[in-house]
Structure 1
Amino acid sequence: MRNTARWAAALTLTATAVCGPLTGAALAAPPASPAGLYAPSALVLTMGHGEGAAGVTPERAVTLNCAPTASGTHPAPALACAELRRAGGDFDALAAGDDVTCTKEYAPVVITVDGVWRGKRVSYERTFANECVKSSLGASVFAF
């Protein structure tokens, strides 16, 4: 009987020594947050007047976060994020409005986008002929 008690005590101590740190680590781990399930989508969009971003001082800048929810300083983050999702994050694929007629006036507007879209680095620059042309393309994304 004494031998059985010793074996039981030895097995309990061994199990505690081997398995104790494993269960402690599992209990100490923080629960997974829902935000960790999404690839980040956080962008900074700027707008300025001139010929190319190199010589233009941004006049306006907004932030746009699309994952896990739409937010940021963009005036319409939900619409802009939905538009970008439909375009697959391709700013050149944003559709121009069919019902928009713009003048041929040349007053260049430069848009830049820098950040991360679905976990991938994004850097985009485009010069539009004027404010009307800029507004006709990607109305929600570039309307700030």
Structure 2
Amino acid sequence: MRHVRTLGATALATAAGLALIGSALTGTAEAAPEGLYSPSALVLTLGQGDAPGTAHIVRAVTLSCAPTPSGTHPSPKAACAELAASGGDLGALTVRSGDRPCTREWAPVTITGDGVWQGRRISWSETYANTCVQRARTASVAALAF
């Protein structure tokens, strides 16, 4: 019986010691930086229709900008450079007037962008009258041709 009490006391002391070590390590870990870069990754979609919720998605691409530009986006390097210049504001990358002449055909396309830019959640959408207008008024980030 005495042997059992000694083992119990030893186990209790060991557990207390491990808890103190764990607390010390946790304090050290919280002081260390979480990573070398903040996450920056988006999913961009191109859909036929005039609203993000009802548009028929015809193309979706991924874009990751950290640590290096990558993803299924057709031009990840240019898209990441544009996003960096705009501070991750996808709305700032749409040109309100373009030099390219387009028809006045109503065949709406909607582009969406959802994800994280430097650790901050972003969500954006824009609808254009047709693909010609969309191509004339968007930067590389939203260059998602059919």
Q: TM-score, normalised by structure 2?
A: 0.70
1:117 matches 2:117: yes
Match of 1:45 in 2: 44
Q: Is the CA contact 1:83–1:138 (under 8 Å) kept in the aligned structure 2?
A: no
Q: Which runs of 5+ in 2 are unaligned?
A: 1-20
Match of 2:86 in 1: 87
Match of 1:59 in 2: 58
Identity of aligned pairs, percent? 56
Root-mean-square deviation (CA), in Å?
Answer: 2.5
Q: Is the CA contact 1:47–1:111 (under 8 Å) kept in the aligned structure 2?
A: yes
Residues 68-83 of structure 1 mapped to structure 2, 5 A cutoff: 68-83=67-82
Specify the SS of the correspondent of 2:43: strand
Q: How many residues align?
A: 117
Q: Is the CA contact 1:63–1:74 (under 8 Å) kept in the aligned structure 2?
A: yes
1:39-94 alpha-carbon deviations (Å, 9 max, x no partner): 11000001111120111221100000011110000010000111111122111111
Q: Is the CA contact 2:105–2:130 (under 8 Å) kept in the aligned structure 1?
A: yes
Question: In 2, distance between residues paired with 1:81 and 1:138?
Answer: 14
Specify the SS of the correspondent of 1:37: coil
Change (3 A) 1:86 1:138: farther
Question: In 2, distance between residues paired with 1:130 and 1:69?
Answer: 33
The structure number with the bigger radius of gyration is 1
1:16-52 alpha-carbon deviations (Å, 9 max, x no partner): xxxxx7xxx7xxx9xx9xx921111000001111120
Report the alpha carbon displacement of residue 138 of structure 1 after superposing the two structures with TM.
2.9
Q: TM-score, normalised by structure 1?
A: 0.71
Q: Is the CA contact 1:46–1:113 (under 8 Å) kept in the aligned structure 2?
A: yes
Question: In 2, distance between residues paired with 1:36 and 1:71?
Answer: 19
